[in-house]
Chains A and B, each alone.
Chain A
């Protein structure tokens, strides 16, 4: 997980495609439109076209294909269960059940893989309650060090024999290991908060404002939006 997350984050910060230069706000609108149309689409053909657009967005985002595929394919495990429980024997049902969540996960990968997290969270934090908005920034900031620590912990447990013995012993030891993470997280949060207060924290984290700064690259986002609208108008009543 940490490798996947780190690669997505790295891609978002260092990528040089037009999507990376476009404003976060425009991409959020297109992503919301794509996911919303995917959910409410009454037509399988339209859903297929929307899924194709999502793939096009991901493949042109400069993300390594393996990373994009690994991130987008996550819902498949649960989907197998859902399809098995709802299948009526027709391929159309399978496609309808599979394409909707996969379109949404591909769209999320495109959005996160082309937008640095301060730009992505800044518009969201303006509409979220303060706790949740600030939590997004602070959690993401601490996430990589905590994930690295979790992996170190897992390796240490394995090397010191914590992964041997009965499942009950192994899980209890893992719990104790996670206890060290809990204590570390509390102490880290306290020191971070003290640092923020010392530096004049006003009680609200405001993201940078360039999430809404438009550039020529936004024409590509506009084109994607036009493609979505055109596909919807043309195919809404198709089978």
Chain B
């Protein structure tokens, strides 16, 4: 994840999270410590904030866990397509969680000193929705590329569908 974040895309320097592929390859339980470590290291660099390590971990881990479950559910698809769609599902969940948290922050009470900020939810929604759709598309296409490469080069890294495992077990028996 950290290495992928080092590759800036386009003039806005969009950075991939790769939460979907990480969740698919490591499983939900394996992805959680990975996501925590990535969030902590980035926070120590001033990227992401010391006080939101837990929040970032929660959002990215939710994306990873969703992608892992979705990939297994999409077991009949080709792995590259499964990886792309599962990553999109993970991004969907992460986006909804993140937007919910930010909306709650925007609607929070007055700031210290009594200032009462006016939340402009429409403005925020407009900006974030566009960025989120673009981000989901980018993450999905990149996940497709990763899946296609792994199928050709190292398919053993990909988790197999439950049916495939069942057939293998029956064949072995």
Q: Binding site of B, secondary structure by majority: helix, strand, loop or mixed? A: helix
Q: Once the chains bind, are B120 and A105 in contact (CB under 8 Å)?
A: no
Q: Once the chains bind, are A176 and B46 in contact (CB under 8 Å)?
A: no
From B33, B49, B113, give the contact of A135 (CB < 8 A). B33
New A-B pairs, 16, CB < 8 Å, besides A105-B49, A112-B44, A175-B146: A35-B51, A82-B106, A85-B123, A86-B117, A120-B44, A139-B2, A149-B3, A150-B6, A151-B6, A176-B149, A177-B145, A178-B4, A178-B16, A179-B150, A181-B4, A186-B154
From B7, B38, B106, B142, give the contact of A86 (CB < 8 A). B106
Enumerate chain B residues within 8 angstroms of A180, measured Cβ to Cβ.
Answer: 149, 153
Enumerate chain A residues within 8 angstroms of B5, measured Cβ to Cβ.
Answer: 1
Q: Once the chains bind, are A174 and B44 in contact (CB under 8 Å)?
A: no
Q: Once the chains bind, are B111 and A93 in contact (CB under 8 Å)?
A: yes
B25: CB under 8 A from chain A?
yes
Q: Once the chains bind, are B112 and A43 in contact (CB under 8 Å)?
A: yes
Q: Once the chains bind, are B146 and A178 in contact (CB under 8 Å)?
A: yes
From A86, which residue of chain B is reached at the shortest CB distance? Answer: B117
B23: CB under 8 A from chain A?
no
| Interface residues in B, total, Cβ within 8 A | 56
Interface centre among B49, B116, B124, B154 (most CB of A within 10 A): B49
- How many A-B residue contacts, CB cutoff 8 Å? 179
In the bound complex, CA of A147 to CA of B2 (Å): 8
Q: Once the chains bind, are A109 and B46 in contact (CB under 8 Å)?
A: yes
In the bound complex, CA of A164 to CA of B4 (Å): 19
- A→B interface (CB under 8 Å): 1-2, 4-5, 8, 31, 35, 39, 41-44, 47, 71-72, 74-75, 81-82, 84-88, 90, 92-93, 96-97, 101, 104-109, 111-112, 120, 124, 129, 131-132, 135-136, 139-140, 143, 146-147, 149-151, 153-154, 167-168, 171-183, 185-186, 239
Interface of chain B residues 1 through 40 with chain A (CB within 8 A)? 2-7, 9, 16, 18, 21, 25, 33-34, 36-38, 40
Enumerate chain A residues within 8 angstroms of B121, measured Cβ to Cβ.
Answer: 85
From A153, which residue of chain B is reached at the shortest CB distance? Answer: B7
In the bound complex, CA of A112 to CA of B143 (Å): 32
Q: Once the chains bind, are A178 and B2 in contact (CB under 8 Å)?
A: no
Q: Once the chains bind, are B118 and A87 in contact (CB under 8 Å)?
A: yes
Enumerate chain B residues within 8 angstroms of A4, measured Cβ to Cβ.
Answer: 45
Binary flags per residue of B144-171, CB closer than 8 Å to A gives 1, else 0: 1111111001100100000000000000
